[in-house]
Amino acid sequence: MNQLESVDSFTYRINRYKYTIYDKSPLRQYNLRATMDGKAKLKKVQITDGSNTALLDSDTRKFYLNNWDIEGVGSLDARFIQAGTLTADDGFINNLTVNALKTLDKSDSIGESVDYVHVKDNYLKLTTGTITGRDQAKDNNGNLLYWTDQSKTMLTTEPTAYPFYNLTYDPVDKFKLYLYGQGVDSYPVMELGRGDGVTPNSAKAIIKKEPDNLNITYYKSNDGAVREVVLGDMGITIKAESNGDIVIEGKNINVRATGDVKFEGLKYDFA
């Protein structure tokens, strides 16, 4: 049914008598568009249940999903998603696929440090981030976002004493796990420690599982000299560069060889 803009008269028939009614007053306009094929357009809608509980309000653009039970969501696109089972201590999600993931706590004061996990692309990081800046977050309609209370578990656009911030961090990576290389030829690498900043790797340890060996390397503080154990297809290599010592301790130490035993050095001490 399409709404008429104006009418001067209309005619109807009862039995064999025909009546014509004249009315020059303008028609009242309603924000309703409905067609016979079941389509409708409403400009202002408020929906409540039998207990007068708000379910939908088009004026405030709010859909009160906490008062609904929704089943079978095929696809959901959102900027912020929050739910009690996801932010509680225990929650379960089946078959979760994301482009990136961070596990942050509720700290939001400048200068605070936060330990978190960052997963993206083909790497996982354990990071300590120091908060260096913040600005209050907004939803897609430009409304400022707030935590509902001091527990900081749910968001709202209603003003509270607990603003929700977008935070800027100065990150320090303390553990990395990633794939080095491309495709079938890539292999896993672990980097441990933040380092001392003197060289790119000094005071860090790196474990690599290359195709033909397992390489465990520590890079000495200040200069990055290598202390390394390589377990390879051809044998085991232990290395300590830059005058590093190798010490083997134990109650009983046995050295067995099916071939030669060779010693090479400037001095030999046997006590």
Question: Model confidence over 46-84: pLDDT tens digits?
Answer: 888 888 898 888 888 888 877 887 777 777 777 666 554
Q: Where is pLDDT greater, at 243 or 227?
A: 227
Task: Label residue 90 by pLDDT band (50, 70, 90).
Answer: low
- pTM of the predicted structure, to 2 decimals: 0.66
Sequence-distant contacts of 79-87: CB under 8 A, at least 24 apart = 79/139, 79/140, 80/139, 80/145, 80/155, 82/153, 82/154, 82/155, 84/153, 87/153
Q: Is there a domain that residue 200 lies in? A: no
Q: Give the count of domains, the chain.
A: 1
Q: Is there a domain that residue 250 lies in? A: no
Alpha helices in the chain (DSSP H): 84-87
Contact by Cβ (8 Å): 31, 37: no
Statement: residue 191 has pLDDT above 70: yes
Q: Is there a domain that residue 125 lies in? A: yes
Q: Is there a domain that residue 59 lies in? A: no
CB atoms closer than 10 angstroms to residue 171: 13
Task: Label residue 152 by pLDDT band (50, 70, 90).
Answer: confident
The tens digit of pLDDT for each residue in 153-182 reads 888 888 999 999 999 999 999 999 999 999
- List the single range of 97-111, 175-189, 193-207 with lowest mean pLDDT: 97-111
Half-sphere exposure of 99 (CA within 13 A, CB side): 0
Q: Is there a domain that residue 136 lies in? A: yes
Q: Is there a domain that residue 121 lies in? A: yes
